[in-house]
Amino acid sequence: MCGIVGYIGREKAIPKILNSLKFLEYRGYDSSGIAYVKDNHINIIKEIGKIKCLEKIVDTMVDSKIGLGHTRWATHGIPSVKNSHPHQVGKFTVVHNGIIENYLSIKNELIKNNIEFNSDTDTEVIPALLDYYYKKDKNILNVIKKTISRLKGSYAVGIICEDDINHLYAFRCGSPLIIAKDDSGYYLASDVPAILSFTNKYILLDEKEIAVLSKNDCEVFSLNLDKIHKKINIFEGTQETIMLNGYEHYMLKEIHEESKVFLDTLNYYVKENKFKDTMINFKKYNKIHIVGCGSAYYVGLIGEYLISEFANIEVTCEVASEYRYKKVFYDKKTLVIIISQSGETADSLAALRMAKENHIDTLAIVNVVGSSISREADYTLYVKAGPEIAVATTKAFLAQVTLISLLAVKLSNKLELLREFNGLEKHIEYLLNLDYNEYAETIYKHENTFFIGRLIDYALCLEGALKLKETSYINALAIASGELKHGTISLINENVPVIGICTKKDMMSKTISNLKEVKARCAYTIFITNEDIQDDFYDKKIIIPKVHDIVSPIITVIPLQLIAYYVAKKRGCDIDKPRNLAKSVTVE
Ligand code: M6R
């Protein structure tokens, strides 16, 4: 949540910072701000709303060669100019992504020392501490070190000090931060897409490392202020990957990348129906815990069904925010799988750390290369979705489902199942090309929609409902069909469309009778299934290709994503940046 950028070099900083901020807007977009140096003075401009609002009030012609930028997702204090970043106290101007958990005690302590605060944010304690220590010691690295020792929580921070306007300083803990370089100078950013207009080479800053950037150089120090040599990473994609390329929204573009994403993920791990060396050879596990948040959790539920069914291993799946605070029973043969697109989700990272503290093997299924979860897990399997910009995850979900299905095959040792993945891309393409407007038409005017299904189809119902909720603001509810009669059916009437999903033959008659029950109560019903059943319990039907159970969820999710997209479009919603959300949830 929140995106930070910085630039120092030989070219004008402001256009570069605004450009980078636009590629970080997915991290938060309720307000933004920029700081730049002109005539030895630090200027700050902030505005509520998206980057385009800031752009209107910033003079891009200003000849400044150093600056910081920020796009905010409010945690402490409402979205307002006062609470937007950069924050300045004394000589220090700061942008921050993360949460300072102990900010109140620090703030109270500094207030007693006559330091004034002007915002409701946790962030402001960072420049305040820096300035406080700087009054006693003019060595900025020492001052940063002391400040880090006081902070609890997560932070990625960019700093300009008024007394040292030829350097940008940065440090991080918990929240991501990269440093990049091109021929003109150095960049600071929360994520790779922010720098792709300029370069594809970057370094990842590790926990509590401090970076000092000048127009010609970048030095990284450990917390003990020892110099560190950093590895340069190269981003594999091009800037094309993060452009709209003619699509109206990133969500639609990303859904339409799904057959490629499927093949890229499959081909990375499998060749000619055999696993490649890129797939891990697992030891024998008695128990698997799968943990994730939001859609990643639903991938986990799909994994729970597939791994237990095909590999015969006891699997449980939990949302990370619950798992991290529960009494969890591990044994030596437990594997904890953390699923996360961003690899930065705070609760998922905490769950991973909890497992590690208990000396349990951990496996990360992650999209973003070099993210915290990927770096801290014992094993990491990357999905090959590429950068995902829309806040609602689609292609990364499909790639994660592909990978968890491959994992089920690997753990089951039934390698013949790998054949079932062959040719699936054609089914993906087929489903991508159906017209979903007619289904969206029947849903978009209503305020409620139900999704019903059983077992693995119930996991898909959860994903379908979340996708509809977050993009169209319709109150969508996923119900395990068998639970309908235990209360929820009282909500059914002609204003509640019901989407029933059934891809499992042995569940067909059960789900059909549940659909009949809601139809009898006047619900408008849409049936998503792989059997061409002619009957009157549905008003509309989407037939998905009949494939093996091991790969069925990979294709079944596509109609759900596209229905959500077209409903949101008909309702005129801000599809790629839904209200109140941010893509990377790096706070608890
Ligand atoms: O980056 P992660 O996969 O860890 O994110 C988890 C959730 O925040 C994410 O899936 C969220 O639910 C999406 N908005 C769903 O579309």
**Is 208 considered catalytic here?**
no
Q: Give CA–CA dist 527/358, Å, rounded.
A: 45
Q: Indicate whether residue 341 lines ligand 1 (CB < 6 A).
A: yes
Calculate the alpha carbon distances from 58 to 22, 39, 88, 158, 160 in Å. Answer: 14, 17, 18, 20, 19
What stretch of H or E contains 557? helix 552-570
Q: Nearest to residue 339, comparing CAs of 327, 328, 351? A: 351
Tokens of 568: 């949101």
Q: Pocket of ligand 1, candidates 293, 468, 574: which has the most ligand atoms within 8 Å of its Cβ, to mutate?
A: 293
Q: Indicate whether residue 394 lines ligand 1 (CB < 6 A).
A: no
pLDDT tens digits, one per residue of 398-448: 999 999 999 999 999 999 999 999 999 999 999 999 999 999 999 999 999
Q: Indicate whether residue 295 lines ligand 1 (CB < 6 A).
A: yes
What's the pLDDT score for residue 529?
A: 97
Q: Give CA–CA dist 465/414, Å, rounded.
A: 33
CA of 6 to the centre of ligand 1 (A): 26
Calculate the alpha carbon distances from 323 to 126, 171, 334, 349 in Å. Answer: 31, 29, 15, 11
Q: Pocket of ligand 1, candidates 393, 561, 587: which has the most ligand atoms within 8 Å of its Cβ, to mutate?
A: 393
Angle between helices 395-412 and 258-269 (to 10 degrees): 30
What's the pLDDT score for residue 189?
A: 97
What's the pLDDT score for residue 536?
A: 85
**Residue whose CA lies nearest to ligand 1 atom number 14:** 392
Q: Indicate whether residue 321 lines ligand 1 (CB < 6 A).
A: no
Three-state secondary structure of 11-32:
CCHHHHHHHHHHCCHHHCCCEE
Tokens of 21: 């901020």
CA of 585 to the centre of ligand 1 (A): 8
Mark the ranges of the chain whose per-residue pLDDT is less than 50. Answer: none
Q: Indicate whether residue 585 lines ligand 1 (CB < 6 A).
A: yes
Q: Give CA–CA dist 80/479, Å, rounded.
A: 39
β-partners of residue 270 are 275
CA of 363 to the centre of ligand 1 (A): 18
- Owner of token pair 């891809």: 503
Full set of structural domains in the chain with CATH = 3-240 (3.60.20.10), 244-422 (3.40.50.10490), 434-574 (3.40.50.10490)
pLDDT tens digits, one per residue of 26-78: 888 899 999 999 999 999 999 999 999 999 999 999 999 999 999 999 989 99
What's the pLDDT score for residue 587?
A: 77
Tokens of 444: 């978009």
Angle between helices 456-472 and 294-306 (to 10 degrees): 170
475, 482 in Cβ contact below 8 A?
no
What is the position in ligand 1's atom list of the atom closest to the CA of 393?
16
Q: Indicate whether residue 529 lines ligand 1 (CB < 6 A).
A: no
pTM score of the predicted model: 0.89
Angle between helices 125-134 and 103-112 (to 10 degrees): 40
What's the pLDDT score for residue 241?
A: 79
Q: Indicate whether residue 462 lines ligand 1 (CB < 6 A).
A: no
